[in-house]
């Protein structure tokens, strides 16, 4: 009780933890939003994500997620939550497993008790496991029937940077009930479970509502479970220039192109890659990719640039979607555009504009939910923060970054479209590119 | 006398100082959000919701015409205009986007079935700029050769990208039947886009799009008086007469029909079943939302039984409003071996079961729908679009928040009559998009004694014929040899001798 009160008072007085601190067990990340009488509560089991799957057990965390859902349905928890106007969502990320309940605030307390009953009464049978495995297997096979960038990128990054594959029919089939039991046991004993809450209710009320869960965990003990670690495998490899082309997309009338520029590891400072990505294509307004490839060359409908990460690899992703007859021009021009970025005066002009408007345009990303997401993300990944933020980043630093990473040897390309035509374009214009043709079935092997 | 002079002066000043806008309705959305509905001029309404959660605002303008309102064979013009308007207005190429970016803003535009929407999003101190841009797009968009040719390339790229998706093709076929259009496609046919020219587009912009009723929705950190003053300055004096366009009525001839089309490269059959229902604003619309939820909840529902039994890969139900009518639709992706009749039968059974809905089931479904409706309050863009949709489809933006009250008033006994009245087969139609059937070689039938007897007879016949031919051939050879012999001098000699000594020859 004393510890609980300390927790509540520290939470009320100090608010969410600073980004540099370790996340304490049962910490509540909270933001208020009074626009709707709703509460979204995420219970996050830190360290229990797909990153904890061993190479022989790829798919374990996902399988347990599906099994928890099936149990919830079978034992009537879903119906009970439905009656309260609450959605139950289970998500598995690389770093955590999360159970989320989102519904009418007036019923939040009851919903949390139902979820507590669910997670402490998990019972998996051989039959359920067989069912979930067959469902996941069908999902995998369905996924590859449509252009699936998540899996395609995963394959490209696994072949170039050594990240772990996230889908494998073989390891899925090999999972046993014993594996599931061990995972579930570790899940309940996870070292750090924290809460992410957005609500119209005040923070002390929320802390009270979460009490049944925290008390139950304390009572049952929390040792021997998952432990969060950012010591992911090293992913420093020579990547390119490499192009991944897939069979089975000859019917497409456009060529969907993605360039991935690997740039360091998770946990490093993010200012420079963020600034470059925003300069190239944050929102369409006047950013460089839109201005040049759509506005001037009229080669694409959609274009974007995003700064992303997968496991320990960080990369900037550039996207473009030319029609087949424009793909030759787009592919060659984009290749040149990327490698000549340090010497492109328009890049520096746009970067200057980006710096000048960054503060005012950032206002759109300050919703309570977005602030909450950022606070949690900072606490998990603990990326270093610089005094002065992005204003303290110099043009020389940006140039050094571009010269280091925006080079042909560091380009991973993915092209979805008619295979023979794309191969011909690459052979004609970019003969040094290592072309790797794959069948989509390899994505889930 | 002095008194009358004052009145006269006031009477002269009044037309200059009074404003044209008028408050015509308010609706409380939640503890902190209230929507106010104004008329600005006969063709323009506004909805304002003050939301100070973040220091910015959403500014959406809805023109009450969309691609379903365009004539057969001429669809795509509105979508094309939408591109030009949001890209250009009367500014130099690229200038509008630059102004928006320099002021920390964002812009977007989209064309729907019955409305075209332009979105501007700015930090809170840029409201005057937003009105200026909106006004510019409305009055002064430049439509010249250069901009039209540029947009053709971009729109054709967008078109080719979208139409490869079978879901999109199936949707176009489905709505084509509803609106009685053979080639329903909001972006337009390729040949139609290719032949668009500035004069025709300008005419369409001035004499069709700008004559539609409009709604401006502003949600965010704004001052209501300032918003009204600026809207009044920009549009208050525009008193163009209202032209009434007949609403698109859905094609009633399709009711009761089950239509099918085939396509290549389909990994599954796309199944759609639709029922005509009343529009937003009718109380039954809220009851139908409850039915929608009951059919597709995650457990103990039609969706759960279809997906869990793997008769369907996915299944969803939607209730939507359109201009003058509503539509409830079941959408399913079926493995090729699932019969469409099975799905039809299961829908019938599920609807019949819903007629005995309990209080608890209704409350659960109601709570879920309220959750969905309240969730939109977190998202200014989707909230604004809901106001815009209600205005374009049913003429009153506040019908959207009214739905919350309607939902709260639905009782279990309301559901059976709703199912009986609307969700019946003769008020529905079905469309399926299936894989093209490959012609299989016909299966080999088992052979009987008659088959074998026939085969033997044919064989014997052939052998007899062959024997005859061989015999004929041999006879011919022999005959020819004989002929050669009879014409030879030796034969003549023998013959002569035989004739002499054998008088029978």
For the stretch B360-417, pLDDT in tens is 999 999 999 999 999 999 999 999 999 999 999 999 999 999 999 999 999 999 999 9
Nearest CA in chain A to B369: A85
CA neighbor of A202 nearest in space, from A25, A44, A24, A12? A12
Give the number of beta-carbon pairs within 8 Å between A and B. 162
pLDDT at residue A219, rounded to an integer:
87
**Is residue B104 within 8 Å of A360, Cβ to Cβ?**
yes
Q: Is A381 within a domain?
A: yes
Whether residue A122 is found in the same domain as residue A32 = yes
pLDDT at residue B496, rounded to an integer:
38
Q: Considering Cα of A386, then A392, then A398, then A400, what sign does the dihedral take?
A: negative
Q: Peptide bond preceding A241: is omega within 30 degrees of 0, i.e. cis?
A: yes
Which residues in chain A touch residue B368, judged by CB atoms under 8 angstroms apart? 82, 85, 87
CB contact under 8 A, A104 and B363: no
Tell me how close the Cα of B293 comes to any Cα of chain A, in angstroms.
Answer: 10
Q: Is A153 within a domain?
A: no
CA distances from A135 to A67, A68, A412, B52 (A): 11, 14, 32, 45
- Residue B249: pLDDT band (50, 70, 90) is confident
Nearest Cβ partner for A82 among B33, B154, B364 = B364
Whether residue B171 is found in the same domain as residue B268 = no
Nearest Cβ partner for B56 among A295, A364, A368 = A364
ipTM over 0.85? The verdict is yes
pLDDT digits (tens, 9 = 90+) for B43-80: 999 999 999 999 999 999 999 999 999 988 899 999 99
CATH number for the domain including A379? 3.30.830.10
Q: Is B443 within a domain?
A: no
Whether residue A290 is found in the same domain as residue A370 = yes
Which residues in chain B touch residue A142, judged by CB atoms under 8 angstroms apart? 267, 313
Q: Structure tokens of A426?
A: 């690459």
Whether residue B265 is found in the same domain as residue B208 = no
When divided into structural domains, chain A yields a total of 2
pLDDT digits (tens, 9 = 90+) for B86-117: 998 999 988 999 999 989 999 999 999 999 99
Strands A86-92 and A96-104: antiparallel
CB contact under 8 A, B31 and A200: yes
pLDDT digits (tens, 9 = 90+) for B271-329: 999 999 999 989 999 999 999 999 999 888 999 999 988 899 999 999 999 998 999 99
H-run or E-run covering B287: helix B283-296
CB contact under 8 A, B101 and A326: no
Q: What are phi and psi of A51, to 5 degrees?
A: -60, -25
Q: Is A158 within a domain?
A: no
Whether residue A251 is found in the same domain as residue A209 = no
CA neighbor of A357 nearest in space, from A286, A272, A269, A273? A286
Which residues in chain A touch residue B377, judged by CB atoms under 8 angstroms apart? 35-36
A274 CB-contact burial (10 Å; exposed 0-12 / middle 13-18 / buried 19+): middle
Whether residue B455 is found in the same domain as residue B387 = no
Q: Is A129 within a domain?
A: yes
Whether residue A209 is found in the same domain as residue A308 = no
What is d(CA B349, CA A372) in angstroms, rounded to the nearest whole number? 45
pLDDT at residue A15, rounded to an integer:
40
Whether residue A170 is found in the same domain as residue A279 = no
Q: Is A107 within a domain?
A: yes
Tell me how close the Cα of B448 comes to any Cα of chain A, in angstroms.
Answer: 44
Whether residue A353 is found in the same domain as residue A246 = yes
Whether residue B209 is found in the same domain as residue B271 = no
Nearest CA in chain A to B100: A285
- Residue B503: pLDDT band (50, 70, 90) is very low
Whether residue B29 is found in the same domain as residue B177 = yes
Which residues in chain B touch residue A290, judged by CB atoms under 8 angstroms apart? 97
Whether residue B420 is found in the same domain as residue B463 = no
Tell me how close the Cα of A265 comes to any Cα of chain B, in angstroms.
Answer: 31
Whether residue A215 is found in the same domain as residue A247 = no
Q: Is B440 within a domain?
A: no
Domain boundary among A220, A252, A284: A220
Whether residue A209 is found in the same domain as residue A79 = yes
Nearest Cβ partner for A366 among B54, B158, B313 = B54
Whether residue A254 is found in the same domain as residue A216 = no
Which residues in chain B touch residue A298, judged by CB atoms under 8 angstroms apart? 150, 153-154
pLDDT at residue B470, rounded to an integer:
74
**Is residue B326 within 8 Å of A106, Cβ to Cβ?**
no
CB contact under 8 A, B53 and A368: yes
Among B28, B87, B98, B160, most A C-beta atoms within 10 A, so best to mutate, is: B160
Q: Structure tokens of A229?
A: 């670690």
CATH number for the domain including B381? 3.30.830.10
Strands B44-50 and B56-63: unpaired
Q: Is A225 within a domain?
A: no
**Is residue A330 within 8 Å of A293, Cβ to Cβ?**
yes
The residue-averaged pLDDT of B482-502 equals: 46
Among B306, B374, B380, B383, most A C-beta atoms within 10 A, so best to mutate, is: B374
Nearest Cβ partner for A285 among B100, B155, B264 = B100
CA atoms within 13 A on the CB side of A311: 22
CB contact under 8 A, B100 and A286: yes
Which residues in chain B touch residue A143, judged by CB atoms under 8 angstroms apart? none
Domain boundary among B235, B265, B297: B235
Whether residue B305 is found in the same domain as residue B426 = yes
Strands A28-32 and A193-199: parallel
pLDDT < 50: residue spans in chain A: 1-21
Q: Is B167 within a domain?
A: yes
Q: Is B373 within a domain?
A: yes
CB contact under 8 A, A85 and B368: yes
Tell me how close the Cα of A175 comes to any Cα of chain B, in angstroms.
Answer: 22
- Residue B167, pLDDT > 60, answer yes
Which residues in chain B touch residue A85, judged by CB atoms under 8 angstroms apart? 364, 366-368, 370-371
Which residues in chain B touch residue A77, judged by CB atoms under 8 angstroms apart? none
pLDDT at residue B497, rounded to an integer:
41
> What's the distance, Cα to Cα, between the start and end of chain B in Å?
164
When divided into structural domains, chain B yields a total of 3
Domain span at A430: 242-444
CB contact under 8 A, B102 and A37: no
pLDDT at residue A318, rounded to an integer:
96
Q: Is B244 within a domain?
A: no
DSSP 8-state class, residue A22 = P
Which residues in chain B touch residue A321, judged by CB atoms under 8 angstroms apart? 157, 161
- The residue assigned the tokens 């609807």 is B351
Tell me how close the Cα of B87 comes to any Cα of chain A, in angstroms.
Answer: 9
Nearest CA in chain A to B52: A35
Q: Is B58 within a domain?
A: yes
Residues contacting residue B3 through CB under 8 Å, at least 6 positions apart: none
What is d(CA A185, CA A232) in angstroms, rounded to the nearest whole number? 23
Which residues in chain A touch residue B107, judged by CB atoms under 8 angstroms apart? 284-285
Whether residue A202 is found in the same domain as residue A248 = no
Q: Is A231 within a domain?
A: no
CB contact under 8 A, A38 and B375: yes
Domain span at B304: 252-435
Whether residue A187 is found in the same domain as residue A310 = no
Pairwise pLDDT comparison (B482 vs B123), residue with the higher score: B123
Which span out of B103-107, B439-443, B464-468 was modeled with the highest average pLDDT? B103-107
CA atoms within 13 A on the CB side of A432: 10
Nearest Cβ partner for B94 among A37, A146, A291 = A291
CA neighbor of B43 nearest in space, from B211, B230, B229, B248? B211
Among B30, B57, B152, B157, most A C-beta atoms within 10 A, so best to mutate, is: B157
Among A255, A323, A349, A364, most B C-beta atoms within 10 A, so best to mutate, is: A364
- The residue assigned the tokens 């003050």 is B50
Whether residue B93 is found in the same domain as residue B120 = yes
Domain boundary among B182, B209, B235: B235
Whether residue B159 is found in the same domain as residue B18 = yes
Whether residue B219 is found in the same domain as residue B327 = no
Whether residue A132 is found in the same domain as residue A262 = no
CB contact under 8 A, A104 and B367: yes
**Is residue A85 within 8 Å of A106, Cβ to Cβ?**
no
Nearest CA in chain B to A368: B53
Domain boundary among B435, B457, B479: B435
Q: Is A236 within a domain?
A: no
B255 CB-contact burial (10 Å; exposed 0-12 / middle 13-18 / buried 19+): middle
pLDDT at residue B161, rounded to an integer:
84
Whether residue B93 is found in the same domain as residue B185 = yes
- Residue B3, pLDDT > 60, answer no
CB contact under 8 A, A360 and B104: yes
What is d(CA B116, CA B133) in angstroms, rounded to the nearest whole number? 16
Tell me how close the Cα of A74 comes to any Cα of chain B, in angstroms.
Answer: 9
DSSP 8-state class, residue B263 = E
């Amino acid at each position: 009780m004393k510890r609980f009160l300390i927790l509540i008072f520290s939470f009320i007085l100090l608010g969410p933890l600073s980004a540099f601190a370790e996340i304490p067990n049962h910490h509540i990340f909270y933001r208020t939003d009074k626009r709707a009488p709703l509460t979204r509560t995420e219970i996050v089991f830190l360290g229990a994500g797909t990153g904890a799957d061993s190479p022989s057990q790829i798919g374990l965390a996902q399988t347990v997620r599906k099994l928890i859902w099936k149990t919830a349905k079978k034992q009537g928890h879903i119906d009970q939550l439905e009656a309260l106007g609450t959605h139950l969502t289970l998500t598995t990320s690389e770093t955590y497993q999360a159970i989320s309940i989102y519904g009418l605030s007036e019923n939040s307390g009851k919903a949390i008790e139902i979820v507590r009953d669910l997670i402490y009464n998990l019972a998996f049978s051989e039959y359920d496991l067989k069912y979930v495995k067959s469902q996941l297997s069908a999902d995998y096979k369905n996924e590859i029937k449509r252009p699936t960038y998540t899996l395609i990128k995963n394959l490209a990054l696994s072949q170039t940077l050594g990240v772990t594959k996230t889908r494998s029919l073989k390891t899925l089939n090999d999972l046993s009930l014993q594996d599931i039991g061990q995972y579930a046991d570790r899940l309940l004993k996870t070292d750090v479970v924290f809460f992410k809450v957005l609500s119209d209710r005040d923070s002390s009320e929320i802390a009270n509502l979460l009490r049944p869960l925290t008390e139950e965990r304390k009572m049952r003990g929390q040792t021997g479970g998952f432990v969060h670690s950012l010591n992911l495998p090293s992913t420093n490899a020579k990547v390119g220039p490499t192009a991944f082309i897939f069979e089975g997309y000859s019917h497409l009338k456009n060529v969907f192109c993605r360039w991935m520029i690997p740039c360091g590891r998770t946990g490093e400072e993010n200012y420079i890659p963020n600034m470059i990505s925003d300069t190239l294509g944050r929102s369409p307004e006047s950013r460089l990719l839109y201005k040049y490839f759509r506005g001037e060359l009229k080669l694409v409908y959609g274009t974007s640039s995003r700064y992303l990460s997968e496991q320990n690899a960080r990369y900037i992703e550039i996207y473009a979607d030319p029609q087949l007859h424009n793909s030759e021009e787009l592919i060659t021009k984009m290749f040149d555009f990327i490698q000549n970025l340090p010497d492109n005066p328009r890049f520096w002009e746009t970067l200057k504009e980006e710096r000048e408007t960054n503060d005012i345009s950032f206002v759109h990303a300050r919703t309570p939910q977005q602030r909450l997401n950022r606070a949690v993300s900072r606490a998990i990944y603990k990326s270093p923060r610089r005094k002065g933020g992005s204003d303290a980043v110099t043009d020389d630093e940006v140039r050094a970054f571009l010269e280091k990473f925006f080079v042909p040897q560091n380009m991973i390309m993915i092209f979805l479209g008619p295979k023979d035509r794309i191969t011909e374009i690459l052979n004609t214009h970019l003969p040094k590119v290592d072309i790797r043709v794959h069948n989509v079935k390899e994505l889930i092997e | 006398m002095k008194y009358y002079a004052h009145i006269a002066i006031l009477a002269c000043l009044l037309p200059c100082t009074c404003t044209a806008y008028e408050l015509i309705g308010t609706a409380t959305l939640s503890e902190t959000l209230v929507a106010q509905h104004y008329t600005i001029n006969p063709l323009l309404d506004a909805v304002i919701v003050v939301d100070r959660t973040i220091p910015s605002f959403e500014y959406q303008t809805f023109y009450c015409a969309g691609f379903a309102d365009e004539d057969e064979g001429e669809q795509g013009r509105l979508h094309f205009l939408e591109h030009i308007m949001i890209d250009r207005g009367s500014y130099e190429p690229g200038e509008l986007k630059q102004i928006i970016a320099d002021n920390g803003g964002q812009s977007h535009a989209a064309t729907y079935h019955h409305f075209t929407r332009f979105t501007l999003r700015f930090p809170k101190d840029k409201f005057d700029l937003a009105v200026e841009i909106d006004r510019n797009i409305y009055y002064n968009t430049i439509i010249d050769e250069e901009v039209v040719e540029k947009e053709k390339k971009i729109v054709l790229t967008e078109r080719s990208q979208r139409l490869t998706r079978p879901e999109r093709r199936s949707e176009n076929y489905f709505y084509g039947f509803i609106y009685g259009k053979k080639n329903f496609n909001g972006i337009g046919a390729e040949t139609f886009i290719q032949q668009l020219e500035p004069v025709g587009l300008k005419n369409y912009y001035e004499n069709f799009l700008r004559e539609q009723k409009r709604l401006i929705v502003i949600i965010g950190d704004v001052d209501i008086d300032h918003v009204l003053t600026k809207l009044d300055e920009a549009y208050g004096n525009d008193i163009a007469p209202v032209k009434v366009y007949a609403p698109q009525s859905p094609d009633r001839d399709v009711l009761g029909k089950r239509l099918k089309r085939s396509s290549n490269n389909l990994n599954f059959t796309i199944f759609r079943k639709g029922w005509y229902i009343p529009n937003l604003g009718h109380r039954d619309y809220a009851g139908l939302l409850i039915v929608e939820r009951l059919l597709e909840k995650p457990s103990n529902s039609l969706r759960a039984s279809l997906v869990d039994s793997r008769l369907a890969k996915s299944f969803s139900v939607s209730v939507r409003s359109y201009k003058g009518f509503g539509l409830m639709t079941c959408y399913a992706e079926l493995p090729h071996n699932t019969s469409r009749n099975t799905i039809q039968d299961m829908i019938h059974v599920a609807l019949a079961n819903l007629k005995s809905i309990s209080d608890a089931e209704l409350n659960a479904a109601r709570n879920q729908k309220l959750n969905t409706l309240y969730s939109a309050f977190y998202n200014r863009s989707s909230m604004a679009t809901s106001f815009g949709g209600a205005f374009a489809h049913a003429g009153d933006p506040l019908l959207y928040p009214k739905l919350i009250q309607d939902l709260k008033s639905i009782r279990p006994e309301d559901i059976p009559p709703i199912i009986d009245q609307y969700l019946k087969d003769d008020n529905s139609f079905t469309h399926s998009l299936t894989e093209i059937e490959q012609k299989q070689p016909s299966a080999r039938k088992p052979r009987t004694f008659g088959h074998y007897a026939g085969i033997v007879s044919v064989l014997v016949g052939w052998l007899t014929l062959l024997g005859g031919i061989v015999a004929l051939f041999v006879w011919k050879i022999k005959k020819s040899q004989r002929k050669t012999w009879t014409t030879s001098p030796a034969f003549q000699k023998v013959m002569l001798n035989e004739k002499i000594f054998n008088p029978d020859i």
